[in-house]
Structure 1
């Protein structure tokens, strides 16, 4: 039984048990909540303690990998730049579209209020929105150690990126030693995260029990609403990727759609971009992508690029802010966009259950949004994850067609001088 299945069973069992307590044993509900709430809180705190060192190590090693890719050649560097632009656009789209969609179709009011009341926030207070001056000043950490201790993710991400870029300029032996250290830190924290996630079904059960005891089965409606909202944002990236292939990759629309059918089938069944790579390579060949392009760009896309990650993660954080009534100013949204695009590079290649916290934790912290609902949302992540994978594999093939078009244009330019000489 997979972790996702066990967590989902923990969620269902917890909500059912909590709803039963609320319906049939209301006099005992306070005592049961008093036991389950700290148990779930301890598990959530254990997960939180891994976020800072894991994200920092992932960003430093990610910068090193990106630098090596850029040095591999002009086409690779150009494709890497395309990845960066698309990730920012992905997060920006969700930052605009998700609040608009929630304004048209908000979460069920009573269930959302009950779900919010069931979560343990800091004294029940909504974090204040910082001023523009405070936000701009906070990007440069005067004390990186204090920033990490305080959990201020935006300046920590900036420091990690600058640190990683500076490390690529030192002597090769020292660079290898330093990146080897952060590789070890990353692997160690990943092991610790897997230990914590082993207990996820029990932690989610405890948290869901508290939620069910306080809200009854009303939480089911909110979670279903959440799944639809996030899935829409992820599938929108798939549509955007199709447009990218048609307009910039110059692939006929129906030819691209037909060629993607086997890839989407593998993506839906496996929920893994890596497992879909062989099907993507075959599809790229059918679309006429040269071997030299698809052999480089597709593996690079699988290793470094998840188109739906910024959009889906921004949608999750904005949805949680919607539940809590946390105001998100344009500047806070901008910070969220930058952090979402950056951490998506760091989390590529990690299992979905781990990625969920590795990416959402920094975004939530940077935007001042509570994290207490994330374990419950993880339990239903298997449903939006299908949409995430569909969007990712579609985008991977789309950027490969764009890179192929660039390659054809460069080959044509190289042939022109030769023709003129003849």
Structure 2
């Protein structure tokens, strides 16, 4: 009878274990690499922060702050929160370390887990993995287009094709107040429940994001921000669209888009994949021109995105695609005999030093058991070395795809492996 552990992962938090974890790493690193190619430097953020940072930065009217944050007192009775998103933490770090006093824009990228207490379902986890970028300090439509294009390039580099980019403008300080009054006037005339009325008072835009069919029906004819943009906000948005056209990034303007965080202004966008059902968003972001000042810094603008690693993996699966090499090694060593084992251990170390992934058969297995282990490893090539081979100065090199095996001089095996692995790639 197999004994099982009495412990399991917390509800709504996925484990990524070999061999499937190779795809997780490939997706995460692929999205990060797209940012690195555009000059975004890495920033490592705390997993938890002062609760007030998120309350002020994300917005108290949002579901994230009101319902979804993991908040608790630490041993010093300070209220701390597991980070639900990355932008507020990045802005805090930029202000604290004076990065906003140097060359602008400050361009950073990050990757890691974020935490939201939600009802777990496919694509919606309580520990979600994201890759994000932030470009802070310059209000330039070309920078907005760059951020969007970086996300688009990251998805496409992984082979993802069945997604679309939706975007809109949420206006600026010269038109948002007037639109807010107009929208509230419309909403207060509707037969809304008390909770929704309270939300309309705090942030009326959030009511347009309500997923309930009855609320969506009531707000079908609500005034839209994109129809009430100031001249400067409209010019900014038109220029963003012009840059995206020039870059060849396809998009759809969605006037009813409302992101789930309060700090967004002007350009706001989301990448959607219909193969994921209800949880169709695979990433999104926007501009947040007043956030730094709200958190005690300079009145500098910024724009960024967060892309879901978990959701991207599900989107790839929906398209029948995968990313990454699930094999744990490229070469598998089978030593037969003690002298051969010692030589194989050294040979494996030399190959690893050259960047070739190598694993060995351990535990004194025989030929049959060792070759089964080689097959399970997913290695492209297997090296078989017995004590007699060692005496004769040769080693067996087997191509696992074709089954062909040949003897190679031990003096030449490093060069032979380099050539074989390069050709296989």
Q: Per the shorter chain, which TM-score range?
A: under 0.3
TM-score (norm 1): 0.24
So what's the TM-score if we normalise by structure 2?
0.24
Rg larger for: 2
1 or 2 for the larger relative contact order (CA 8 Å, sep ≥6)? Answer: 1
| Greater percentage in strand | 2
